[in-house]
Chains A and B, each alone.
Chain A
Amino acid sequence: EPEVTQTPSHQVTQMGQEVILRCVPISNHLYFYWYRQILGQKVEFLVSFYNNEISEKSEIFDDQFSVERPDGSNFTLKIRSTKLEDSAMYFCASRGLAGGPNTGELFFGEGSRLTVL
């Protein structure tokens, strides 16, 4: 069964360092998302990406965050200068067209745990 894969599974970094989280969405999917879950809190939307551009972003997704689809298969989330409060589990998700953007489930990766010290 096709799946969304994420690397690394866990990254520890110093505050102020740049971090890149990588995702390989399901190959025929066209909508890509990043969500995060701070420990003990709910899953929060960060950004959605379609047709090589950001289609929607939350207030969490400030200038420190960026996304890229550099080569047609990878979908990356970059945090330019990490803060302590960026420590969370980051989930990538993708969705196919299947009837339009308002149908079809999101397929999530296993997540990348980011720990900022």
Chain B
Amino acid sequence: DQQVKQNSPSLSVQEGRISILNCDYTNSMFDYFLWYKKYPAEGPTFLISISSIKDKNEDGRFTVFLNKSAKHLSLHIVPSQPGDSAVYFCAASAYGQNFVFGPGTRLSVLP
């Protein structure tokens, strides 16, 4: 039962353009969402979060949008840089319980 889905296993974007990473969830009890970036052989690194009382959160080049009715969130990276190339995980939590991770999307930013 995949509660958190990231339907695109990979995404390629030109440097300077926008990267949009999508995440869908099925559990309507999820109320807190995180995005993590992961390089090979390293632990996940926190990028940005959003709680269900908001529909947008912005931090520098990273913006997360939450559409609760569609149970969908997206991460926008503008402008994309080659150093952004990594696997991006969406994670969701319900009322402080453990975080459920999506399968990840591998982003490649091409110079």
Contacts and interface: CB of A to CB of B under 8 A. Distances in A.
Given A102-B32, A102-B95, A108 B45 contact: yes
- Looking at chain A's contact residues, the main secondary structure is loop
Given A106-B46, A110-B42, A42 B102 contact: yes
Contact of B98 (A45, A103, A105, A111): A45
B42 A111 contact: yes
A56 B51 contact: no
Interface residues of A, number: 24
Contacts of A44: 101
Given A42-B89, A48-B98, 20 more contacts: A4-B43, A33-B99, A35-B101, A41-B103, A42-B101, A42-B104, A43-B101, A45-B99, A45-B101, A93-B43, A100-B96, A102-B31, A102-B51, A102-B95, A105-B46, A106-B46, A108-B36, A108-B44, A108-B45, A108-B46
Interface of B: 31-32, 34, 36, 41-46, 49, 51, 89, 91, 93, 95-104
Interface of A: 4, 33, 35, 41-45, 48, 56, 58, 91, 93, 100-103, 105-111
